[in-house]
Chains A and B, each alone.
Chain A
């Protein structure tokens, strides 16, 4: 179930990526149009993080290419925000939440200048959007996992770009915060921003996202959420071994489950 879109914002073409000799992404080919909230779904080790890193140009692919706004990523880095997985850095680093969010205001043209008052205002606003304003001056080592995750999210928001790539932004975040962040993301897509979110909870995925990219080394599906919700797609993505499978088929049976319009 792979639907290509006309005038794509992101075009991933025949992408193959491997670490050493082991292929992690195999011949991935899909396209995403503007203003979508896209879920990237797959089991652990499926290559979801690798896909985001390849789109960001952090990993050199074996073959294939990615185009964003019809350009190479290096030409448009100031138009894309990236939220890495929380585990990718050492949180014992001597920095406050605000210090980290301010990184989102870094600009290549004024790298040697101090951050301006406007930069600070935007950083505070971004922290506020993820309910973390009260923790602005807290040292990052003293934040909980979910709070650290939200600091990373705020840093990306502070970049104020058109395209956001987020690697598991909901990991370790409590349910009510997840809901408020989701509302924020929906609002942003309504304003025309495009957001790709790596997400591991299949049950909520169908509710959250407009479009799904289902992945397990190969691409299983790239289509509107409703079309991805078939037993075949889920089985191919998770391989028959998913204990959740029965729950999922239940979900599918009640096809009238609340999908956001």
Chain B
């Protein structure tokens, strides 16, 4: 049963991240996922210091806000101060992460919050943390319940906002020209990434979240020319890596999060090799003069 809960948790995170990751990759801002996942640390710590607990709503709100503040700061440094966007990302998130590290080491002593746990998560403990709601849900672990709700919310968000998300990702200038607020959709997406990062950091950690955001979406991007299919494939690769990664870790008796990351990398490599081989065929088709009218 433990295996089931762990794989389910990882798969749910991979669905949330796989959907959002497609838009990050297509907007060429996938490193913002990295920035957000690190920047939530000071938010988590501050909220933890105020509320004295790691699993309060306050922590989720505080940390998500910090993720949004991070994206505001990146936009500010890029647009107003006019430095390169990758430099802006690097500056902002290392600073916020460092603030978080200082806060942890200075104030939380050796309470159960350490940098290592934030970065790598404790997915193996997911089945032990049962929900305490006083309802039938109490026989289930907390994380999969929360992540199921989150997955549903993200699906609804992308389903309802599909048109503007598609448009602002492909051609932001045209989107503004026809009256769509590109910054509104940018920040809605960033808010979704922030909440996802915060809700999944406890189980899978900041590093695996980043991998889930970027790798399956990039793998899917290699395979398809259709956005909807890309989103679907991205989720499939995430789930596949979660299953294979779990059993790899069990076999090696190693880190589950690490094994899942490795599986995503292997997925990518196989797909990349496959597209290279088949693009040779495509090249032949493309050079067919009949098709170039």
Contacts and interface: CB of A to CB of B under 8 A. Distances in A.
Interface size classification for chain B: 20 to 34
Interface size classification for chain A: 20 to 34
Contacts of B54: none
B26 interface: yes
A108 B179 contact: yes
B177 A77 contact: yes
Interface in B128-162: 160-161
Contacts of A58: 173, 176-177
Contact of A94 (B164, B171, B221, B292): B221
A111 B169 CA distance: 15
Given A103-B167, A112-B161, A159-B178, A94 B227 contact: yes
B180 interface: yes
Given A88-B173, A89-B171, A94-B230, A77 B224 contact: no
B26 A78 contact: no
B107 interface: no
Interface of chain B, helix or strand or loop or mixed? helix
Contacts of A95: 166, 170, 225-227
Contacts of B176: 56-58
A94 B225 contact: yes
A42 to B, nearest CB: 21
A141 to B, nearest CB: 6
B225 A82 contact: no
A96 B221 CA distance: 14
B174 interface: yes
Interface of A: 20, 53, 56-58, 74, 77-78, 80, 82, 84, 88-90, 93-96, 99-100, 103, 106, 108, 111-112, 115, 139, 141-142, 144, 155, 159
Interface of B: 26, 28, 82, 160-161, 163-164, 166-167, 169-171, 173-174, 176-180, 221, 224-227, 229-230, 286, 292
